[in-house]
A and B are shown apart, each in its own frame.
Chain A
Amino acid sequence: MSDLPPDEPAIQFDHVRFRLDGRDLLTDFCLEIHRGETLVLLGRSGSGKTTILRLINGLILPSGGVVRVEGRATTGWDTVRLRRRIGYVIQEGGLFPHFTIERNVGLIPRLEGWPPERVHRRVQEMLELVGLNPEEFRNRYPHQISGGQRQRVGVARALAADPPFLLLDEPFGALDPLTRSETQRQFLSLRQRVRKTMVFVTHDVTEALLLASRIALIEAGRSAGIYSPAEFLDSIEGPAREYADVVRANGKILGWPQ
C-alpha cells in the first residue's frame, strides 16, 4: 500500500458503467475515494449503492470504464487477493449459519493461516470491539442471537484480518436507536485507532453526517454530488437539499433551534 503515491486515490471509479440484462444500473460513474477516509454513499433504495460496493471488491466487473483499487484495475487483480484486502459487511448479514460466532469471526484469519491461539485472541478482541461479550457469544450459532447482534458479528468478521479497506452496506440498519448510537460512537473511536479506507452505505442522514468524511449522493445509478457533512447540511439547492430539508424539517417539528 505504501508504494502508492500519496495523492493517488485508494479507490477510483473512472467513467464506470455497469449493465445487466440490457439495463444500466450504473452510468458514467466517477468517484475518487482517498486513503483513510470514510466515504458515505447516500441514496434511495435501488439507486445503485450495493452495486458500487460490489464493483470495488470485484464481485462484479464494469461493463465500461475502470474501477481501480490501489491504482490497479479490478480486472487486473487476483480476485481472492483483492477481496482479502477488503473487509465486506453485506446488507443481509450473510453469516455462515453452520459456523459458531467464533468461527464466523475467525474465518479469514484462519484461511490466511494464522495460528489458532492468535485467531482465538483476535476473535475475542473483535467481539469486545463491537460490544459483544465473547464468553457469552462465541459458542452460539447465528440463529441463536438477535438481528442486531448478527449485524455486529458481521462487522467484527469484516475487521478480523485487519484489512486496509472496509465496505459496509448498512451495517447498523437493524439496531435500536440506543444501541445504534452507541455503535456509531464505537465506530468513530475505532476509526481514530485504525486508519482504514471505508465506504459506508446508509439510508440514515444523521448517520451519514456523523460518520462521513465526505458524502456521495447517488441517484439512479449516477453520482449526484459529493459533499463534506457541513456542505451537505447547509445545501439550499441541488440534490442534497432534499435530504438537508428533511433534517431541518424534523428539527423544526421537534422545536430545535434552527
Chain B
Amino acid sequence: MSVLEYFVRHRQEILELSVQHLWLVGASMLIAVVAGVPLGILVSRRPRLDKLILGSANILETIPSLALFGFLLPAPWLGARADRLAITALALYALLPIIRNTYAGITGVDPAVREAARGMGMTGRQMLFQVELPLASGVIIAGVRIATVLTVGIATIAAAIGAGGLGEFIFRGLAMVDNRVILAGAVPAAVMALVADIFFGALERRLRHSHV
C-alpha cells in the first residue's frame, strides 16, 4: 500500500485529527494573543517590568515541550482534561513572540509621531488605540505568525499526553516503524503551518504597506 493509498483509506481519521489539531492551535493562539498583547503594552509602559516579563517568557520558552506538558499534569483544574492542559502549555509557548513583538512594535513608533500625538493633547488611551497599536499592528501580526507556525509544530507533541491532534499519527507511526503513518500526521501539520505562514504573512504586509 502506497503512502497515497494509506492517506485515502484513512482520510476520515486524518480529517478528524486535523480538526482536533486546529482546535488545539486555535484555542491556544487566542489565549496567547489575548494575554500577550496587553502584556507587551504593559512592558512598553513600564520598562522596568521588561526583565521580569520578557525574562519569564524566555525561560518558559526554554523548557522542553514534553517536560512542560509533564509539569502541568498535576495541576488541579488543568490536569483534569488533556486538551485543556495541552492548550495551556501551547499558549505559554506562543506568549513570548507575541509579547516581544508587541513591545518592539510599540517602542518602534517614530518618536516624532509620538511627540506630535502627546504635544497635541491626545490622552494615553487615544494614543494607544489610535496611534501606537495601529502603527505596531504589522509587527504584532509578525509575532502571531511566528507563534502560530511554532504552535502547529509543538501541538503534535500534545498526543503524548492524550490530547489528540495530528501527533497521534506521528507517535503511532514511530511505534509501528511505518513512515506512511508518520506522514499522515506530518504532511497535514506542515500544510497547516504553511497556510498560517502565508495568511499571516499577507496580513502583515497589508498592515505595513497601508502606511509605508
Question: What CA separation (Å) do A91 and B116 show in the bound complex?
Answer: 10
Known: A96-B113, A97-B135, A98-B210. A90 touches B121 (CB 8 A): no
User: Which residue of the partner chain, among A82, A92, A108, contacts B112 with CB atoms under 8 Å?
Assistant: A92
Cβ B116 vs Cβ A95 within 8 A: yes
B160 within 8 A of A: no
Question: What CA separation (Å) do A154 and B115 show in the bound complex?
Answer: 13
Residues in chain B near residue A111, CB distance under 8 A:
121-122, 126
Cβ B117 vs Cβ A83 within 8 A: no
A93 within 8 A of B: yes
Across the interface, name the chain A residue whose C-beta is closest to B212. A143
Known: A95-B116, A97-B135. A83 touches B211 (CB 8 A): no
Shortest distance in angstroms between A183's beta carbon and chain B's nearest beta carbon?
Answer: 20
Cβ B110 vs Cβ A97 within 8 A: yes
Cβ A80 vs Cβ B115 within 8 A: no
Could you say which interface size class chain B belongs to? 10 to 19
Cβ B113 vs Cβ A59 within 8 A: no
Residues in chain B near residue A98, CB distance under 8 A:
134-135, 210-211
Question: What CA separation (Å) do A111 and B122 show in the bound complex?
Answer: 8
A18 within 8 A of B: no
Question: What CA separation (Å) do A96 and B112 show in the bound complex?
Answer: 9
A141 within 8 A of B: yes
Shortest distance in angstroms between A113's beta carbon and chain B's nearest beta carbon?
Answer: 12
Residues in chain A near residue B126, CB distance under 8 A:
111
Across the interface, name the chain A residue whose C-beta is closest to B118. A59
Question: What CA separation (Å) do A91 and B210 show in the bound complex?
Answer: 24
A74 within 8 A of B: no
Cβ A83 vs Cβ B120 within 8 A: yes
Segment 81-109 of A: residues with Cβ below 8 Å from B: 81-84, 86-88, 90-98, 107-108
Question: What CA separation (Å) do A174 and B118 show in the bound complex?
Answer: 23
Cβ A57 vs Cβ B119 within 8 A: yes
Binary interface profile of A, 141-165, with partner B (CB < 8 Å = 1, else 0)? Answer: 1010000000000100110000000
Which of B110, B119, B121 has the most chain A CB atoms inside 10 A of its CB? B121
Question: What CA separation (Å) do A143 and B117 show in the bound complex?
Answer: 18
Cβ B212 vs Cβ A96 within 8 A: no
Q: How many A-B residue pairs have CB under 8 A?
A: 65
Residues in chain A near residue B115, CB distance under 8 A:
59, 90, 92, 94
* Count of A interface residues, CB-CB < 8 Å: 29
Shortest distance in angstroms between B108's beta carbon and chain A's nearest beta carbon?
Answer: 12
Cβ B119 vs Cβ A143 within 8 A: no
Shortest distance in angstroms between B139's beta carbon and chain A's nearest beta carbon?
Answer: 13
Question: What CA separation (Å) do A95 and B131 show in the bound complex?
Answer: 11
Residues in chain A near residue B134, CB distance under 8 A:
98
Cβ B121 vs Cβ A83 within 8 A: yes
Residues in chain B near residue A92, CB distance under 8 A:
112, 115
Residues in chain B near residue A95, CB distance under 8 A:
113, 116
Across the interface, name the chain A residue whose C-beta is closest to B122. A111
Cβ B117 vs Cβ A108 within 8 A: no
Shortest distance in angstroms between B135's beta carbon and chain A's nearest beta carbon?
Answer: 6
Question: What CA separation (Å) do A96 and B120 show in the bound complex?
Answer: 12
Known: A59-B115, A88-B116, A90-B116. A97 touches B122 (CB 8 A): no
Question: What CA separation (Å) do A122 and B135 show in the bound complex?
Answer: 26
Segment 142-190 of B: residues with Cβ below 8 Å from A: none
Question: What CA separation (Å) do A108 and B118 show in the bound complex?
Answer: 12
8 tightest CB-CB pairs across the interface, nearest first? A94-B116, A83-B121, A92-B112, A84-B121, A94-B112, A98-B211, A88-B119, A97-B211
A-B contact pairs, 14 of them (CB 8 A): A54-B119, A83-B118, A83-B121, A84-B121, A91-B112, A92-B115, A93-B112, A94-B113, A96-B113, A96-B116, A97-B113, A98-B211, A108-B121, A143-B211
Q: Apart from A94-B115, A96-B113, A154-B116, what are 16 other A-B pairs with CB-CB below 8 Å?
A: A54-B119, A57-B119, A79-B121, A82-B121, A83-B118, A83-B120, A86-B121, A90-B119, A91-B112, A93-B116, A94-B110, A94-B112, A94-B119, A96-B116, A111-B122, A157-B120
